[in-house]
Each structure stands twice: as structure tokens, then as C-alpha cells.
Amino acid sequence: MEDKKTEIQNCLAVLKKGGLILYPTDTVWGIGCDATNADAIDKIFALKKRAESKSMICLVSDFKMLNEYVEEVPEVAYDILKYAAKPTSIIYDDPIRVAENVIAEDNTLAIRVTKDPFCKELTRRLRRPLVSTSANISGQSTPGSFSQISPEILKGVDYVVNLHQSKKSSKPSAIIKLSNDGKVKVIRK
């Protein structure tokens, strides 16, 4: 029997020790860690064999948490998120209180207010943003389901969440860049 509560407790134990989890998100399976832990983020870059200049998405539980990690959330963000038909990550200027190596070179960070009940509860209980990057080696295709995740990724994380492993993943989130100067740019539909 899948037990969400147990899975959240197991994840919190690993995340608080700076470990990596493999977990189902509102889009694809993700590799995650505490977004305020630079060493844990380095482990993700190493596991994915990914250039550190490539940025990653973070998940937060709600608008209140979003405001704790972005200097200034543009008003339009709330409207975009309220009316978005699918999971949408927004790239914000001037992220704060997260590890430096999760912030892109142009001082931005992509954050998604998750609607997934498991992710929402996990980020709420962690009280920090959760890194969410696709469960693949950089350059390889994003797995469409749990069964497509490579053994290298499965072995490289500290904990694999035992929920929704038979579910097909949906597409990665839409990504919109909102600059403080009012510019809005769609990065991924």
C-alpha cells in the first residue's frame, strides 16, 4: 500500500541530511534536494553530469513560500499562476535565501508553485524550496515514466519515492521568464 505520510517522512530525513531523492512531481519524475544546500545541489550536477551554468527549477508549496525566496514577485506572476492550465514554472529575478549554485548566472531562478499534493506537503514540511530537475543524465531524453529512468540515476540518489511508479508522466512544465522591468518571455510552452 502506498503511504504518502511515510514517504514524506522518509524524504524529509534524507533531505535534511543533504541527500538526493527521486520523486514524482506534477510533471515528470524529478531528482530533488534542499534548494538551500549547496553540497546537495553539487551532487545533482555530478549525478546528471550537467554543467553548473545550467539552472534548475525549484518547487515551493504556496505563494507565501514563493515570497520568502524571491526579492520581489511581480504582480503579474499571481495572475499567470492562477489561470495557467498546466504546471507553470516562472523564472524570477533576484532569488534570495537559496544556495548560490542553484541560481542562474543572470541572477534568476525558476520556481514552480506546485499543485501536486505530495510535492506540496513535502515542501511545506521541509519549509524550504525543493530542487526539481528531470531524472535523466544531461543531454538524454526526459523519462516519460518511472520505468524509463536509467539505473545510473536510480543508484545515484539516496531515496526513491514509492508512489505513482506506474503512472505515465506528463510533459515538463511551461516556463515563463518574468523580469522586474516588466518583460514577459515564454521559454517553454
Phi-psi region of 97 (alpha: psi -120 to 50; beta: other; left: phi over 0): left
Could you read off the pLDDT of 46-89 as tens digits, one per residue? 999 987 777 789 999 999 999 999 999 999 999 999 999 899 99
The SS3 call for residue 90 is strand
Asked whether 143 and 136 are in contact (CB, 8 A), the reply is yes
Amino acid at 99: A
Q: Note the pLDDT of residue 106.
A: 94
Could you read off the pLDDT of 2-57 as tens digits, one per residue? 588 999 999 999 999 999 999 999 889 999 999 999 999 999 999 999 877 777 89
- Average per-residue pLDDT for the chain: 93
Look up residue 184 and give its three cell numbers.
514577459
Mean pLDDT across the stretch 118-147?
A: 94
1 confidence band (pLDDT: 50, 70, 90)? very low
- Strands 130-134 and 184-188: what pairing? unpaired
Amino acid at 125: R
Q: Is the pTM of this model over 0.85?
A: yes
